[in-house]
Chain A
């Protein structure tokens, strides 16, 4: 069974731009969660989508948004990028009623 895939793997943007990251969950998984990983703040929960609806949200500004499609694939968007948004963005998928979350390799975003 294929794992969680994320594209692109690396991104370089400049301040003020926006970016869209993509995540394809494990086949059959309906929940997709996004996390931000930085050396200073560690792993922090951004939001979770289940059946195209945002089910949970972390403490991030409104510049961070996401969505989920009918095939469970998910995208997250960051608008008006700031230097502090440089991070590894991780996507994790899980089955509907279980909490075992399986992570993808992440997208490394660098904001210059």
Chain B
């Protein structure tokens, strides 16, 4: 089955700096890669996703890049703000194929310091 590795496990940045979180996956059949943000006491919130026919996707301060050859994808947050502090999870799954089964990375605790 799919295995997703995520690094780093903790990340501390100064407000206004950029943050980068990296994930690798093992199953070449995976072609959908969402990123979730989880705040304390809440469920994961989908913040951005990318499909394998796209190399990069941006949404305001957030961007995701995908390298299918190397089987890795990354989340980039620019101009970080204190409200970006949370745990971020990457995930992977084959799109279609009759099911939804996300395999998650182990999470990155992002702390944005003033």
Interface residues of B (CB under 8 A from A): 32, 34, 36, 41-46, 49, 89, 91, 93, 95-96, 98-107
Min distance, Cβ A94 to any Cβ of chain B, angstroms: 6
- Chain A contact-residue range equals 20 to 34
Report the bound CA distance from A66 to B95 in whole Å. Answer: 23
Q: Taking the complex as formed, is A90 at the interface, i.e. its CB lies under 8 A from any CB of chain B?
A: yes
CB atoms of B32 and A99 under 8 A apart: yes
Question: Do the beta carbons of A101 and B100 come within 8 Å of each other?
Answer: yes
Interface of B is mostly: loop
Question: A100 near B99 (CB under 8 angstroms)?
Answer: no
List residues of A whose CB falls within 8 A of some B CB: 4, 31, 33, 35, 42-45, 48, 50, 55-56, 58, 90, 92, 94, 97, 99-106
Identity of the chain B residue whose Cβ is nearest the Cβ of A95 in the assembled complex: B100
Task: List residues of chain B with CB within 8 A of the CB of A103.
Answer: 36, 43-46
Nearest A residue (CB) for B105: A42
Task: Please indicate which of the listed interface residues B41, B43, B98, B103 has the most CB atoms of chain A within 10 Å of its own CB.
Answer: B43
